[in-house]
Each structure stands twice: as C-alpha cells, then as structure tokens.
Amino acid sequence: MKKNKTMIAVFLTPAVLMFVLVFLYPILRTILMSFFKIEGITDSMTKWQFTGFANYSKLASTSLFRISMWNLFRIWLIGGLVVMSLALLFAVILTSGIRFKSFFKAMIYLPNVVSAVALATMWLQYVYSPKFGLLKNVFSAMGLKYLSKVQWLDNDHKFMALLVAYCFGMVGYHMLIFASGIERIGEDYYEAATLDGANKVNQFRYITLPLLKGVFKTNITMWSVTSVGFFVWSQLFSTVTADTQTITPMVYMYMMIFGAGNSMTERNAGLGAAIGVLLSICVVAVFLLCNKLIKEDDLEF
Amino acid sequence: MKRRFMGIMLSAVMAAGLLAGCAGGASTATTAETTAGGAATDAPKETAAGGGEGLIYWSMWEATEPQGQAIQMAIDKFTADTGVKVDVQFKGRTGIREGLQPALDAGTNIDLFDEDIDRVNTTWGQYLMDLEDLVKTSGYEANANAGLIKACREVGEGTLKSIPYQPNVFAFFYNQTIFDEAGIKEVPKTWEELDAACQKIKDAGYTPITCDDAYITSMFGYHMSRLLGEQGTEAVVKEGKWDDPAVLKTAQAYEDFAQKGYFSETIASNVWPAGQNQELAMGTAAMYLNGSWLPNEVKDMAGEDFKWGCFSYPALDGGKDGTNASNYGAQVLAINKNTKNGENAFKLIEYITQGEFDKKMSEMSMGIPADSRNAEWPAQLASVKPVMESLSVRYPWAAGAEANADLTPIIKENFMKLCGGSITATGFVDALKAAGK
C-alpha cells in the first residue's frame, strides 16, 4: 500500500495536538511548578519564585505529609488486599453458575452508583454512631458489651472505620473486572479438568488464577490509581479540618493550594505540584513492580 | 513484548492523567470559567437595551440556601427598579474557593463576588476595588455596622475594599432550658464560674459541654488566646513554642474538666455534625463553642421552642485578653477592580446588605442583620446581641490555633484525646513537641 504522508499528518495532527495540549503541557508545567514557590495556582510566571528542591525537602521534613503518605500506603495495601480478595471471591462465586446471578451482581455493585456523600453520611452518622449506631445495636444484641461501647470514630479506630466504609463501595467495581476476566476463560478448560477429576479448588488454583494474571495487573493498577487520588472519602470523614487518621497526600495538596479549613493559611501551589509529581512516581513504580512480578507472557488462550 | 510496551505506555498515560489532575485541574477550571464568562459577557448586550449595564455576580451560597434565596430576591427587586440585569452564579463554598482566583486571573468578566471577610481581603486582596469613594458619596456608612466596617478596613490594609453582611460571632452557645433547670442564674464570665456552671449542669443530669472535630481546635485556641493574646497563640503554633507555660496551663484546664466529666462521653469521636445535632440540638448537652450560624443549622432538629443563650469565652486569671475578644466577622461583598460597572455593583450591594433584604436575609437564615436600622434580631439570636456588642478585639478563626496548616490536624487529634480523657495534659504537650520535630 502506498503511504500518503500528507494524509498521515492530517489524521495525526489533531490527536497529537490534543495530547500535547491536554497531557504534555500540564505535566511539564506541573514538574516546573514543583521547583517554585507559587502563591496562587494561576499566578503568572513572573510571580513564581525559584526555590530549587525546597518544596521536596519541605515535604520530606513535614510530619503531617509523612503521616498522609503513611495513610495512603495503608489504604493501598490493607484496602487493596481486602478489596481484591473479596472481589475475586465474589467474582468466582458469581461466575460459578449460581442462581440470581444478575441480582447479586447488581447488589454488590450498587454502592458504586450511590453518591459517596450519601454513603459516608450513612456510615458516619448511622453505622458508627456510638448512640444509636448499627454496630452498637448489633453488638449489644449479641451481648458483646465491650464491642458495643467502642467509639468507632475516635482516633484509634477512625482509620479502620474509613477503610471499611471505602472498601465496601469498591468491591463491586473490581468484582466486575474479575468476573469479566473469568468469563473470558473458555468453558472447555473446566470441562476437561472436571473429566480429569480436578475439583473446584484445583480448577481455581490451576486454571482460573493463572489465566487471570493480566486482569490482576489491571485491577492492581486501577486500585493504585484510585488510591493515590484518595480525596473525597477523606474529606467526608473529616469535614472542615483534616484529621491525622484520614489525611492523604491529595488532601494535603488541596490544603496547600487552596488553604486549610476556615483559616487563612499559607498557600503554595508549587508544593502541591511537588506532591503531584511524587504521587505520579508512586503509580509508575507500582506499575513497573507489577509488570516485573506478574508475568503473563507465558500463557496464551 | 508488544504487550509490555503497551502496558508501559498505559501506565505513562495514567501517571500523566494524575499529573494533569494537578496543573490541569486549574487549567480546565480556567477554561470552564472562561467559557462561562464568555457566555455571560453576552448578558450586558441584552440588558443594554433595558437602559443599563448587566452585572455578573459570583456568590458563595447555594441557590437553595436561605441566604441564596434572599440574595435572589434582592436581585429581582434591583433589576425591577433599575433595569440592570444580574447574572448571579451560586458557586457554593468550594466552587468559589477553588474557582474564583483562576477565573479572575483568566480575565473572566465578574463584577462582584462574596465570601468570608478574611479570605476576600487577604487571599483575593489584589483583585478588589477600593470602595471608599462609593461609600462616601452614597452615605452608606451611616446605617452600617460600625464595628464590622472597622474590621473590613483593618483587613483591607486601612481602606475599605469590602462590604460586610450576614455578621457572625463565635462564642459559647447554650440551651437556656438546661441552664434554668440547673439553677444557673448568670452566664459564666470566668473559668471558675464556667467550672461551677458545668458542675451544676452535670448534677442536673446533662452533659455540660459537647463539641465536634470540626470546631474542637477553637476551644484550645480561645483558651490560649485568653492567656497569651491571639498573636501569642499564633506564635506558638507557627514557631512551635510548645514549651510556653500557657500550653500546659490550657491543657491542664481541659484535663481537669475531662476528669470532672464535663465533656460529652463521645467528644473524642464526634465527627461533625454529630455533637451539634445529636447532643446539643436534642437537648442532652448544654454548651457548644460555635458560630452564630449554629441555631440556623440545627433549627429543624432543635425545634421552635429551643431557647438559645450565648456568652463569650470566659476570661482567665492573669490572662491577657478578656471576654471582649472573639472571632467576629461577616461574609463580605467585594467588587472586581477591573469592572466597568462599579457603581451599579455597589448599588446592588446596597440592595443586598441594607434595608428590606438585609432584614429578609436575617429572618430567613436566622442570622444577624448588617443594617443598624434593622434593630430587631431573630428571637433565637436575642442573647447574641449583647455578646456581639461587647466585642472590641477581633480574633481570626479559632483564635489563631489553626494558623499552621501542618499542625492543625495534630492539635485536633491530641486535643480530642485530651478532652476524651485518654491522654494527660503533659501527654498533650509532649505530643505536640514531638510533632514539631
């Protein structure tokens, strides 16, 4: 086929232009911003003050930022393990030919449809309430006095309370991705395995899991990206002023760019940009690690 | 191999998306605002036929809030009287906080906007028109609240750049019925009197004081500022002077109250609005250090027969500040210095902040009127009037306790633990010292 260079250029230009404008320019600008002290996020470049790596070293020495990174890591790791395990479990059950499959699928996915604000209010003001909360009532009914008196939203329990509420909503989403991955695996493999005498557990271990490697990678990357952007739930669990148990780098970034709480605090969009750069590096690192650890090239089906 | 390449490309794009979220957030906002502004710039052309210039007004309220509704009524009347159309955009709190500055920087056509007195005058100070001449020619000040106008001049670096409305004051709000039942005749003016009142309330079977995570740093800030003055408190939180004896003294006062059982049992876990809704409004707790917007926020739960009382944070022995110091302020309206419609914008401000619609807003939002001719305050706020009038020293938010964004969450965490009784006063001081390192 004869290549028409003009046509290639014509078709590519809009896409390239859009990419440069919408992705490349903001990225380069953000990286550049992270080396400056900038009060207002839209200040013109003439107002920027070059500070070198000062923003990065300030982040490293700020205990609140370190706390926020620690929280993010806990959300990513603990939340990730819980959500992935439950999502996989539900996906396997749902694809195993049970009755009312669509109904259960819809039920588990439902929290994704409900607004986070409504969900968080339910958890905060009802489920965890130490006065008339669901947990309090359930534990009292079971006669577990100690547990019924726990204040789920005090400093010692707030992180777990947040994590449970958040994971509750996330399972459905990852379950769907797993389920579609499992449905892609041909029935023949399972039939053959059944004939050979493999039980369900073995089928899962030797057929489903290996063939789901790619899906795992997708899920972990998606989970990492959404975790890094953890913001709304943190805000809902600590309105107005941030909380040491719920603060994440994104919340810290917001505080630095738009000011914290009701006070007029110092703003520095450069610091916010530095956080953005650090978080991006985290996501890329997780992805590269996933690529290294989970190899899917050896199987084709 | 191809797959891996695709994978790496995908991850790069994802990371790019994340980065774009940072800088791009602003740029998309700007584009959106510019378009909004662009659409809005057509408005004056339409209204030019009506005999005047159109106005574009960005408001911090939601259209459904009482304040937003009162503003809409004022605008309708203004347009009917003058023929000047107003394109009012109710942005909400976060909308205006995130969007206004990028929009102004992008040259969006916004004639006037409103927000909190401090944010407008400090964060957005560079965009404000000096209003001294307009105020002088219109004689606006004759009926305005002198204290608030003075506060506006103070934060406006000596000149008036904003007009206050919806005044508010930060103080202890209490349930008068519980006070009566406990036999408390007078509001506490000193810490000892507050102690005695709490004991009586506790004996009567109620929780003396409750709070929520959103406001609890204020208790720390007010106590510190009563002892050191607001500047002193700010110095402590900004420069990490946690060795200052006032910090331990404050912590000890609260440790003492916690030990005496004056705080709500759930104070360490109250996430706003649990304390104000489930305890104060429900009549199980007596006092809450909060702003004068509180009665409006809980009116549906508290009911019409709820009798509100109010007193300024008590004075302390040997302290620098007395009960005449507190955070008081207002929302303010300001005019963009680049506007061509300054006079019309100011006229609209007069409609909103004085006379009929100031009264309407006060009634509808259960708020304090800004016009001194509207002498009648909503019944629920009757007890706030003497407090407001007694104030002469103005604190910023939380009396300076939240001046250091890096420390606020740590102060909050430890102060909640202190009030909940899980740490001691020295534990509180140690935790903050450690956080500063």
CATH-assigned architecture of domain A53-293: Orthogonal Bundle (1.10)
B280 and B400 in one domain?
yes
Tell me the percentage of chain A whose pLDDT exceeds 70: 97
Which residue range is the domain that position B266 belongs to? Answer: 170-327+396-436
According to the model, what pLDDT value does residue A186 have?
87
Do B406 and A240 count as a contact with CB atoms less than 8 A apart? no
Do A263 and B396 count as a contact with CB atoms less than 8 A apart? yes
According to the model, what pLDDT value does residue B361 have?
95
State the residue for tokens 């309206």: B333
B140 and B61 in one domain?
yes
B233 and B112 in one domain?
no
Asked if pLDDT for residue B429 goes beyond 50, the answer is yes
B421 and B318 in one domain?
yes
State the residue for tokens 């914290």: A260
Residue B239 lies in a domain: yes
Within 10 Å of residue B198's Cβ, how many Cβ atoms? 24
Lowest average pLDDT, out of A20-29, A192-201, A291-300, B124-133, goes to A291-300
Asked if pLDDT for residue A300 goes beyond 70, the answer is no
Asked if residues A55 and B48 have their Cβ atoms less than 8 Å apart, the reply is no
Do B213 and A253 count as a contact with CB atoms less than 8 A apart? no
Question: Could you tell me whether strands B55-59 and B86-90 are parallel, antiparallel, or unpaired per DSSP bridges?
Answer: parallel
According to the model, what pLDDT value does residue B133 have?
95
B233 and B317 in one domain?
yes
According to the model, what pLDDT value does residue A298 have?
64
B316 and B353 in one domain?
no
According to the model, what pLDDT value does residue B334 have?
97
Using alpha carbons only, how large is chain A's radius of gyration in Å? Answer: 24
According to the model, what pLDDT value does residue B30 have?
35
Asked if pLDDT for residue A263 goes beyond 90, the answer is no
According to the model, what pLDDT value does residue B268 have?
95
Measured CA to CA, the distance from residue A282 to residue B428 in angstroms comes to 34
B161 and B74 in one domain?
yes
pLDDT band for B21, please (50, 70, 90 cuts): very low
**Chain A contact for B405 (CB, 8 A cutoff):** yes
Residue B301 lies in a domain: yes
Asked if residues B253 and B314 have their Cβ atoms less than 8 Å apart, the reply is no
Burial of residue B66 (CB within 10 Å: 0-12, 13-18, 19+) is middle
Do B412 and A266 count as a contact with CB atoms less than 8 A apart? no
B320 and B333 in one domain?
no
Contacts of residue B106 in chain A, CB cutoff 8 Å? 42
Measured CA to CA, the distance from residue B373 to residue B141 in angstroms comes to 12
Instruction: Show the beta-strand stretches assigned E in B14-149.
Output: 55-59, 86-90, 112-116
Measured CA to CA, the distance from residue B242 to residue A47 in angstroms comes to 35
B291 and B183 in one domain?
yes
Residue B104 lies in a domain: yes
According to the model, what pLDDT value does residue B406 have?
93
Tell me the percentage of chain B whose pLDDT exceeds 70: 88
Angle at alpha carbon of residue B184, lines to B183 and B188, rounded to 5°: 165
Contacts of residue A27 in chain B, CB cutoff 8 Å? 16, 19-20, 23
Within 10 Å of residue B54's Cβ, how many Cβ atoms? 23
Q: What is the pTM of this model?
A: 0.87
Smallest Cα distance from B24 to chain A, Å: 5
Smallest Cα distance from B214 to chain A, Å: 6
Measured CA to CA, the distance from residue A131 to residue A119 in angstroms comes to 19
The chain A residue lying nearest B6, using CA atoms, is A291
pLDDT band for A187, please (50, 70, 90 cuts): confident
Asked if residues B222 and B315 have their Cβ atoms less than 8 Å apart, the reply is no
Distance of CA A91 to the CA centre of its chain: 19
DSSP three-state, residue B388: helix
Instruction: Show the beta-strand stretches assigned E in B91-233.
Output: 112-116, 163-175, 207-209
**What is the mean predicted confidence (pLDDT) over A99-127?**
91
B309-361, pLDDT tens digit by residue? 999 999 999 999 999 999 998 999 999 999 999 999 999 999 999 999 999 99
User: Which of B11, B22, B30, B277 should be substituted to probe chain A, the one whose Cβ sees the most A Cβ atoms within 10 Å?
Assistant: B22
DSSP B144-160: B-HHHHHHHHHHTTTS-
Residue B24 lies in a domain: no
Q: Where are the domains of chain A?
A: 53-293
**Chain A contact for B155 (CB, 8 A cutoff):** no
Contacts of residue A64 in chain B, CB cutoff 8 Å? 405-407, 409-410, 435
Average pLDDT, chain B: 89
**What is the mean predicted confidence (pLDDT) over B164-190?**
96
> Of A30, A67, A258, which has the smallest distance from its Cβ to B97's Cβ?
A258
**Chain A contact for B16 (CB, 8 A cutoff):** yes
**Chain A contact for B118 (CB, 8 A cutoff):** yes
When divided into structural domains, chain B yields a total of 2
Contacts of residue B118 in chain A, CB cutoff 8 Å? 264
Do B416 and A151 count as a contact with CB atoms less than 8 A apart? no
pLDDT band for B298, please (50, 70, 90 cuts): very high
A143-160, pLDDT tens digit by residue? 999 999 999 999 999 999
**What is the mean predicted confidence (pLDDT) over B239-254?**
96
Asked if residues B276 and B300 have their Cβ atoms less than 8 Å apart, the reply is no
**What is the mean predicted confidence (pLDDT) over A103-115?**
91
Asked if residues A285 and B23 have their Cβ atoms less than 8 Å apart, the reply is no
The chain A residue lying nearest B14, using CA atoms, is A225
**Chain A contact for B34 (CB, 8 A cutoff):** no
Smallest Cα distance from A4 to chain B, Å: 25
Tell me the percentage of chain B whose pLDDT exceeds 90: 85
**What is the mean predicted confidence (pLDDT) over B265-284?**
94
B125 and B212 in one domain?
no
User: Which of A24, A29, A39, A41 should be substituted to probe chain B, the one whose Cβ sees the most B Cβ atoms within 10 Å?
Assistant: A41
According to the model, what pLDDT value does residue B127 have?
95
State the residue for tokens 């590519």: A12
State the residue for tokens 């982040």: A59
According to the model, what pLDDT value does residue A2 have?
64
Contacts of residue A71 in chain B, CB cutoff 8 Å? none
Q: Residue B304's domain is classified under what CATH number? A: 3.40.190.10
**What is the mean predicted confidence (pLDDT) over B48-67?**
79
Smallest Cα distance from A86 to chain B, Å: 25
pLDDT band for B52, please (50, 70, 90 cuts): very low
According to the model, what pLDDT value does residue B286 have?
97
> Of B13, B268, B413, which has the smallest distance from its Cβ to A243's Cβ?
B413
The chain A residue lying nearest B269, using CA atoms, is A154
